[in-house]
């Protein structure tokens, strides 16, 4: 099963993934995919930074099970996750909503949407210091729906990290 984590920037996806990653560290049946991204990771993210050229070369060779472009950056989940899925493992990956329909056509998926109130999102985005106030407002206004054919578990991450992480852990376990 491919467990796809989605949600807007600043909602706490990486914080929650880091919390459950530690709890599942000894479980050989769960793998957390590390994305290739053409931007260096922040302190919270677990990504491999790759150059745009390296990303495009790997993509051309079929090196990604899933890939997408967002905000001028490329993101990819390595093709090696196909081996984990074939072996019956659960693979957890943070992805864009834009690829959910494609992912569901290719793999057995469970989608977990992490949400938070607009006020909490605005505060978190401002705290990261990566975007201007106008860019933050634009992010908050953007709505990307989850395809209706894709089942989804929703987690509201407005409160304690531990509570949302416990819900995410249950969603991963199925």
Q: How far apart are CA 164 and CA 32, in angstroms?
A: 18
pLDDT of residue 19: 93
pLDDT of residue 121: 78
CA distances from 126 to 94, 139, 140 (A): 21, 12, 12
pTM score, two decimals? 0.86
For residue 30, the cross-strand partners are 90
pLDDT of residue 117: 80
pLDDT of residue 70: 87
User: Which stretches of the chain drop beneath a pLDDT of 50?
Assistant: none
Contacts of 95 (CB under 8 A, 6+ apart): 4, 5, 6, 66, 68, 75, 77, 103
CA distances from 12 to 16, 52, 67, 158, 173 (A): 6, 26, 21, 9, 20
pLDDT digits (tens, 9 = 90+) for 109-148: 999 999 888 787 777 777 776 777 777 677 766 767 788 7
Q: How far apart are CA 34 and CA 66, in angstroms?
A: 12
Q: Which domains does the chain have, with CATH numbers?
A: 2-33+81-173 (3.40.50.300)
């Amino acid at each position: 099963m491919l467990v796809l984590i989605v949600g807007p920037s600043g909602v706490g996806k990486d914080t929650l993934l880091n919390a459950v990653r530690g709890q599942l560290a000894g479980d050989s049946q769960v793998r957390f995919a590390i994305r290739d991204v053409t931007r260096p990771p922040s302190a919270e993210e677990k990504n491999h930074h790759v150059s745009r050229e390296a990303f495009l070369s790997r993509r051309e060779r079929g090196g990604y099970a899933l890939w997408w472009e967002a905000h001028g950056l490329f993101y990819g989940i390595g093709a090696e996750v196909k081996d984990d899925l074939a072996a019956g493992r659960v693979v957890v990956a943070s992805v864009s909503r834009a690829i959910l329909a494609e992912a569901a056509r290719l793999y057995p998926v469970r989608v977990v949407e992490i949400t938070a109130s607009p006020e909490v999102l605005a505060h978190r985005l401002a705290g990261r210091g990566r975007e201007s106030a106008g860019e933050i407002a634009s992010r908050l206004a953007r709505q990307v729906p989850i395809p209706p054919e894709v089942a989804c578990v929703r987690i509201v991450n407005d409160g304690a990290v531990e509570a949302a992480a416990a819900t995410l852990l249950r969603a991963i376990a199925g």
